Structure 1
Amino acid sequence: MKKTFNKGFLSVPEQLNLLKERGLLIDNDDRAKDYLKHIGYFRLSAYFYPLLQTPKNQHLYKAGATFNQVLDMYRFDRKLRLLLFNEIEKIEIAIRTEIVNRGCSFLNDIFWLTNPIYFRDRNRYIQSLSLIDAEHSKSKEDFILHFKQNYSNQYPPSWMLAEIIPLGVLGNLYINIADRRLQKQIAKSFGLQAPVLASWLMVLANIRNICCHHGRMWNRELPNIPSELRNPTYKWIDDTTTDRRRIYYKICMIKYLLHTITPNNKLKERLIELSQRYPTVDFRAMDFPIDWHSQKFWN
């Protein structure tokens, strides 16, 4: 049976006192108050939680748990989000370009993204098109405004339109392409099978949205479970020993896709730098193997 939420509001000084009463060590009250004021107790609570004793519902901190540890986890997570967002940006641009260019060439139609004959599920396509319409109507991009002012077409060509389409919408369009040969060609350019690329696109869109909205990435399970990669073109991890719900698997997906986009990427080195900068943050909480950086996939 559900109950009524009856917790009251606490001021910043009251929040600080509560943390102390529960056993969290705080070496500088003024500094801690600043963080509580500008970040917020609720946002930081996700990083307080791992430091609680078992059972967690007693809300008592482990011996030696400090506010500085909380800040380290928070800063690490922020750096991780920025890193993943930067790498996903490269992937998003590359996949967007491949889908558009391959489609224009294969179908011999530069307006194919807005032509329903190229898509399998009409209802799904109508949903995608409504989102495209919304982006198109509100866009203030110079190239969109220029096209509207100078051409009578309802929509600009696919390469222009793709620049304003969110990754999730692009993923839905890819999933819905009627011609399997076109789907396969696009997926093959990234070393994937078409169903896997379709799945991974939606997962990456979810991660990108979490990063954009400053959500926690460290030590969480993500709802979208990516399809298993079988017969990989490039080096890959052992799917049977890796939890596809955890962030490590998603980071490996990003690394795999970067192989064809920026083969000399520094993702591994940047992850190692993060682990060295924040040595108290547990990488295993993200499902990283202890020896991840020495495994074949990363070398």
Structure 2
Amino acid sequence: MANLIPFTKRFESSESLVNLLESRGLLICDRNKAIQYLDNIGYYRLSAYMYPLLKMPKTAHLYKEGATFKKVMMLYRFDKKLRLLMFNEIEKIEIAIRRAVMQITADMTGNPFWLTDSSYFLDSSKFNETMRAISKEYSKSKEEFILHFKRTYSEPYPPSWILGELLTIGNVNAIYRNIKQNRIRKRI
């Protein structure tokens, strides 16, 4: 901690940053477009895509021959498309995990309300923590399926396959790890 230094850099306009990039050897064909990208995306975010185009040592902040702002934007767009594809696939996995935890446990216990029943869990303090999260999400939910359940049924909470839709994947993971019966966890 003794080697920490104060932050002394000041804010720079996008136009100033374009000048800086050019002075370091980055080729910029359309200055106005580069300024617009820096205004909309930000220099700091784009700097991650500029990094591979730097000469060694990278601390000199000089660009390799042929490094262009166009290449920076190509890397940025590629990363954005890859991220969208990955999130799409991750979402499918998350939905499958959520369904498995909520529905397999309901099937194996024969209790659609198992999620709010402490007898199905190993650690009561973790169960209570999960119930606080469930109660919070349930009480503030404006989802039509939740409002319908509240208007229609007398139970304090919906069955697990409905209630599970309100939970984060972190909540679902904590629930899975706290399920008492090992045979249920194995089937999931």
Q: TM-score range by the shorter chain?
A: over 0.9
- The C-alpha deviation readout for 1:171-200, integer Å capped at 9, x for no partner, is 1211221111100011xxxxxxxxxxxxxx
Q: 1:31 Cα deviation (Å)?
A: 1.1
CA distance in 1, matches of 2:59, 2:126: 44
The aligned runs of 1:270-285 (5 Å cut-off) are none
Task: Give the corresponding residue for 2:21.
Answer: 19
The aligned runs of 1:142-221 (5 Å cut-off) are 142-186=144-188
1:41 to 30, 40, 43: 43
Task: Determine if the alignment matches structure 1 residue 117 to structure 2 residue 127.
Answer: no
1:58 to 60, 68, 74: 60
- SS of alignment partner, residue 34 of structure 1: helix
Task: Give the corresponding residue for 1:213.
Answer: none
Gap runs ≥5 in structure 2: none
Task: Give the corresponding residue for 1:80.
Answer: 82
Q: 1:16 Cα deviation (Å)?
A: 0.7
2:7 to 5, 9, 31: 5
Q: Matched residues, percent identical?
A: 51
The one-letter code matched in structure 2 to 1:121 is: D
The one-letter code matched in structure 1 to 2:63 is: Y
- The C-alpha deviation readout for 1:106-165, integer Å capped at 9, x for no partner, is 111111112222122223333322222222122111110111223232211111111111
The one-letter code matched in structure 2 to 1:77 is: D
CA distance in 2, matches of 1:6, 1:125: 48
Q: 1:53 Cα deviation (Å)?
A: 1.8
The one-letter code matched in structure 1 to 2:50 is: F
CA distance in 2, matches of 1:121, 1:72: 50
The one-letter code matched in structure 2 to 1:43 is: R
In structure 2, the CA distance between the partners of 1:52 and 1:125, relative to structure 1 (3 Å rule), is: farther
2:136 to 134, 151, 165: 134
CA distance in 1, matches of 2:142, 2:89: 26
Following TM superposition, where does structure 1 have runs of at least 4 consecutive aligned residues deviating by more than 3 angstroms? none
CA distance in 1, matches of 2:23, 2:133: 50
Larger radius of gyration: 2
The one-letter code matched in structure 2 to 1:178 is: K
Task: Give the corresponding residue for 2:34.
Answer: 32
> What TM-score, normalized by structure 1, do the two folds share?
0.59
**How well do the aligned residues superpose, as a CA RMSD in angstroms?**
1.4
- SS of alignment partner, residue 76 of structure 1: helix
Task: Give the corresponding residue for 1:249.
Answer: none
Task: Give the corresponding residue for 1:219.
Answer: none
- The C-alpha deviation readout for 1:251-298, integer Å capped at 9, x for no partner, is xxxxxxxxxxxxxxxxxxxxxxxxxxxxxxxxxxxxxxxxxxxxxxxx
In structure 2, the CA distance between the partners of 1:61 and 1:123, relative to structure 1 (3 Å rule), is: farther
- SS of alignment partner, residue 7 of structure 1: coil
Task: Give the corresponding residue for 2:93.
Answer: 91
The one-letter code matched in structure 2 to 1:168 is: G
CA distance in 1, matches of 2:133, 2:56: 46
> What TM-score, normalized by structure 2, do the two folds share?
0.92
Q: 1:9 Cα deviation (Å)?
A: 0.2
- SS of alignment partner, residue 63 of structure 1: coil
The one-letter code matched in structure 2 to 1:67 is: F
